[in-house]
A and B are shown apart, each in its own frame.
Chain A
Amino acid sequence: MTLAPRDESLPGRQVALVDLLDRLLAGGVVITGDVVLSIADIDLVRISLRALVTSVAGGPDPSSHIGGERP
């Protein structure tokens, strides 16, 4: 019964990458794995990703193939 609205509200639209990364890189349970990048490293990843994203900004219209893929 609670499942119907969930299915309804995702009308085949792909989730925006930026919203996904907000959740996947900053959310979720953090437990210490054997190969996990430590929490501090994840923050570094966020920073270096930002650096990458910024450098991409100089290129020809990066938003055409990454980021929000709305119709």
Chain B
Amino acid sequence: MNREPTLTYVYAVAVPTPELVRTVASLRGVADAALSLLPPLDDSRPAAPAFVTSQVPHGDWREEALRARFEDLGWLESTARAHHHVIQALSERATVLPLRMATLYEDEERALAALREQRPAFADRLALLAHHAEYGVKVYVRPDAGDGDGDGPDAAPPAATPAPGSPGKAYLQARKRQHHAREDRYQQAARAAERIAAAAAPHATHAVRHPTQSGPLTHGEAGPDGENVLNDAYLVPDDRAGAFRRAVQQAGEDLPGVRVDITGPWAPYSFAMPAPRTTGTDPDPDPGTGTGTGTETPGGPT
């Protein structure tokens, strides 16, 4: 009677082991909730994929409440970090399949039913992801890269350049040069991004292109004058991680005005689901979803 009604929040899929059981018991999830394995580890049966779950208060997590709270950046950040903390800790000890943030069921029975339905698919995906980790590769280009004189793209056309003819004509010529310089920078940025992506790909089994990052959330990442021109995720076998990092760093080294950030290792968030097949039913997959523009290259390098 005094117990508040709850919902079952699902974080990830993993195959239970005694070590995983201990890890799960030591962690707290979103809303500081204790975690549990669903179903619990049963030594009498062969290990099958299970959910890592917690109970969360119904009032805060029902659909209408969630809709509003997703708009609250502070709430979103603390929830995302709590979710990620669980996934990251699990992924250091086991192969995990992260679930989309805020996957909720009315109760454990309903969650179990969903698990049973998907178990073969989960098992297949876990097998594919074993001994792999996700790495992010982000390329930033300074707006004035290759310009030499430090003029940003919004600087006024250089007035000091003497040109024959009227001042108006000189102005237009300068404007044109500036336009060309900007075009060059975009092309340089695109070439740099391509070159780095090409260096990364041979060391990865799968790749996903996320939309480039912009907006105030990215300021700390981009620096005051950097534009994100590539935001890729790569699935890399653990024994190639070093070679992958070296190749990506090297590819970015002698490119002026280009900075390369490698993030990770991440749990395989961007590779949790196969890339959608082009069946014709969905001719225009949304590029905003991480898996929407993924390129699947089944089978790793051998």
Contacts and interface: CB of A to CB of B under 8 A. Distances in A.
A24 B84 contact: yes
Residues of B in contact with A, size category: 35 or more
Contacts of A49: 70-71, 73, 76
Nearest to A3: B92
B114 A32 contact: yes
Residues of A in contact with B, size category: 35 or more
A26 B213 CA distance: 13
The B contact surface, by secondary structure, is: mixed
Interface string A46-71: 10111011101100001100111110
Interface string A14-30: 01111111111111111
B255 interface: no
Q: Which of A28, A31, A46, A48 has the most CB of B within 10 A?
A: A28
A43 B269 CA distance: 17
Interface string B106-120: 100011001000100
Given A22-B213, A28-B100, A37 B66 contact: yes
B218 interface: yes
Interface of B: 7, 10, 13, 61-63, 66-67, 70-71, 73, 76-77, 80-81, 83-84, 91-93, 97-106, 110-111, 114, 118, 122, 125, 131, 133, 136, 210, 213, 215-221, 231, 233, 238-239, 241-242, 263-266, 269-273, 286, 288-291
Leading 9 A-B pairs by shortest Cβ distance: A68-B220, A63-B219, A27-B269, A23-B269, A26-B290, A28-B100, A35-B104, A27-B290, A24-B101
Contacts of B286: 43
A53 B10 contact: no
A34 B218 contact: no
Contacts of B83: 24
